[in-house]
Amino acid sequence: MHLRHQHRDPTCAFRKSHIKQLGQPISESVFRLIRAADTAIHRGLHKIARERLRRARIKELQGLTDHQLLDIGVERSEIAATVEKVLERKVYPR
């Protein structure tokens, strides 16, 4: 008596189908994770660059005399607030 095996190994078919099904969501999740990390790094670098620029501008204005500050319309006590206003108006690329 000869029995012919009509079906593939069921465990093998099960594994292959699940690998194909899981492959796409896993790769999408990894891509989203990498993109989120990239975005976080860029935002962090942007914040560092903005803070360095803010400190440099404040230091530059603090180096001016009271007369020079009044000529440009800024009082010494308003230096930090003025620099913040100017930096908020600027649009920085990401």
The overall average pLDDT reported for the chain is 81
Residue of 32, 13, 12 lying closest to 24 (CA atoms): 32
- Tell me: pLDDT of 43 over 90: yes
> Which residue is associated with the tokens 């969501």?
25
Q: What is the pTM of this model?
A: 0.61
Cα torsion 66, 68, 72, 78 to 10°: value is: -30
With a CB cutoff of 8 Å and minimum separation 6, the contacts of 84 are: 54
pLDDT digits (tens, 9 = 90+) for 4-40: 555 555 555 545 555 555 566 778 888 999 999 999 9
Report how far residue 84's alpha carbon sits from residue 74's, in angstroms, rounded to the nearest whole number. Answer: 13
